[in-house]
Amino acid sequence: MTDGTRDGDGTRCVRAGLPEPVPGQPFLPGPVLAAPYHLDPWRGPAAAADGYGRPDNPTRRLLEAAIGELEGGDCRVFASGQAAITGLLLALLRPGDAVVLPADGYFPVRAFAADTLARIGVRVHLAPTVGPYPSFEGVRLVLVETPANPGLDVVDVAALARDAHAAGALVAVDNTTATPLGQRPLDLGADLVVASGTKALTGHSDLLLGYVASRTPDLLDPVTAWRTVTGAVPGAFDAWLAHRSLATLDLRLARQSANAEALARLLADRSDVAGLRWPGLPGDPAYAVAAAQMRRLPGVLSFDLGGAERVARFLDASRLVGAATSFGGLHTTADRRAQWGDDTAPGFVRLSCGVEDTADLLADVTAALG
């Protein structure tokens, strides 16, 4: 709802990052597909905003303005979520620094830390999303993912930020699962936000995207410089597709969250489904923190079907649940995380609810489980 001074989520999503209206021009300008641009022969690149496509692109800047409005900070977009998070880590950490990473978060981040950060002399500490955490004394950066992917634990960001800041550490929050409509970590005290826009933010399963956001130029500037020298930028058309997709974010999340709630309640009553997690269920361990911290719950839930074969049978029997990795798209999908080397049980499933009619999805899952 709008209170007259701040537009509601749907309005903000539709209008975020759009330029002022110009008669005869589209609401969202088309992608600028350029590598070099015309330069002023006298003043060179100082004469215009764009000189070369790696650091400069107006389509990309419009998307950054849009995501920045939603997150409440300045934004830099990357070619993927992994490019964003590894760029943040390598831009801010130096040999001898210590970093705390989630032990139960996105597995490739831990693999990157073990393979690359440790090799360049960064001391890596792992901690579960909800703790216990090591001492933050001497730590440069604490990265948390909340809700965690794939286990969906939720940490109190404000409390964690207070503890980390008291010890002189920075806090970065991976906001992929929640999206900026679910929570705004910068409002809760985080110094940086990082996320994969591949998933629910853009939601159409047709592009790769990541971003870093912050209100602190001294933190965002080195990330921007890293992106420029490494070239980890999204293409102009992907940036345009992502901006187009933001307009329906509020609508998509509303249906996905409603489907997740209905499906979680259905599965909670089944004796042949174990380990059900969805932060919106009153009995979930994350419920109290999520209810206080999050503005809306994600369309993702997790559970265990007891083994890989039963997961395969379930997916074969389902008409509406597709077997796919990633999450947050329009179509309901399920991913058996162990097949990717993630340290989860063989029958562990992360299910991402799409925007199908709720009754149809419940009937399909019930029939597929047998």
Q: H or E stretch including 352?
A: strand 348-352
Give the residue numbers annotated as catalytic, written as ranges: 54, 106, 174, 199
What residue has token string 């329906």? 248
Residues 6+ apart with CB under 8 A from 36: 51, 52, 53
Distance CA 219, CA 300 (A): 31
Distance CA 4, CA 1 (A): 9
Distance CA 42, CA 159 (A): 54
Distance CA 212, CA 220 (A): 8
Residues 6+ apart with CB under 8 A from 103: 110, 126, 127, 128, 129
Backbone torsions φ then ψ of 42, nearest 5 degrees: -100, -45
Chain centroid offset of residue 211 CA: 9
Sheet holding 333-336, edge to edge: 274-277, 300-304, 348-352, 333-336, 322-323
CB 172 within 8 A of CB 192: yes
